[in-house]
Amino acid sequence: MAIDERAIVDAVAGLELRGNEEGLIPAFGLHLTTHFANYYNRSSFAVARALEGSGLEEDARTLLVEAGHVCAFNTFGGIMRSAEWDAVVAPMISSREDWIRGMVAVINAFGWGRWTIRELIPDERLCIEIENGYECAGWLKDYPVSHTPRCYLAAGGVAGLMNLLYVGDITLRPTLSDAYYSELFRDARSFGARATSCLACGDDRCVLVATRQP
């Protein structure tokens, strides 16, 4: 049975994810939050811009992509261990790679832009195309066209998908501990992602490619 993205998006939308009296959204075995995308954007972009011309630009990128790694590990990993995943996505899974296809379908229910898998070579390479990603759309709203990609969180998320599936093994439902995070993202075999095109740079969409880090 193929992954039915429309069915997954409709099912996630039907959960009516709303904050409780503490402002938290208990879902997927997690406590999610909802806030303005620009709140995150402006915070991260302020860090990147403050370090421009200092020689620490790559350090800023590493820091902001790391936030995406942490998000992918806890959010994507938590979703793939959840009862909701078991009910909606798991019955459609017929291959290991369907775990990534199913997770991308869930992402597309969250309003983070339209994610499309352009290439998935098992244990080797993942190419994700993102239309109207909120990070880069936010950049263009507040700043001129950039000379460098600004899809930091998305890059961390794309790499995180590969690390969860091929460096670790999310299919075995491991405990998402600090030690396991280090095992996945600090290992010599771990994946990193880079943008080959970026909306913030004047391209029509972002394209992110995850491969083994050199």
HEC string of 86-97 equals HHHCHHHCCCCC
Q: What are the helix and strand counts (H, E) for the chain?
A: 9, 6
pLDDT tens across 191-214, in order?
A: 999 999 999 999 999 999 999 987
| Mean pLDDT for all residues in the chain | 91
DSSP-derived secondary structure letter, 163? I
Domains of the chain, earliest start first: 5-212 (3.30.1380.20)
User: Looking at the chain, how many residues does it have?
Assistant: 214
Q: How confident is the model at residue 1 (pLDDT cuts 50, 70, 90)?
A: low
What is the DSSP code string of 3-68? --HHHHHHHHHTT-----TTS-EEETTEEE----HHHHHHHHHHHHHHTTTTT-HHHHHHHHHHHH
What token pair was written down for 135?
């990070």
Say how far apart CA 93 and CA 110 lie, in whole Å: 21
What is the DSSP code string of 1-18? ----HHHHHHHHHTT---
What token pair was written down for 59?
């350090």
| pLDDT at 87 exceeding the cut of 80 | yes
Is 75 in contact with 33 (CB distance < 8 Å)?
Answer: no
Say how far apart CA 111 and CA 62 lie, in whole Å: 25
CA-wise closest residue to 198 among 141, 142, 132: 132
Residue that is written with structure tokens 């020689």 in the block: 55
Say how far apart CA 81 and CA 77 lie, in whole Å: 6
What token pair was written down for 139?
């950049």
Q: How confident is the model at residue 120 (pLDDT cuts 50, 70, 90)?
A: very high
pLDDT tens across 164-186, in order?
A: 999 999 999 999 999 999 999 99
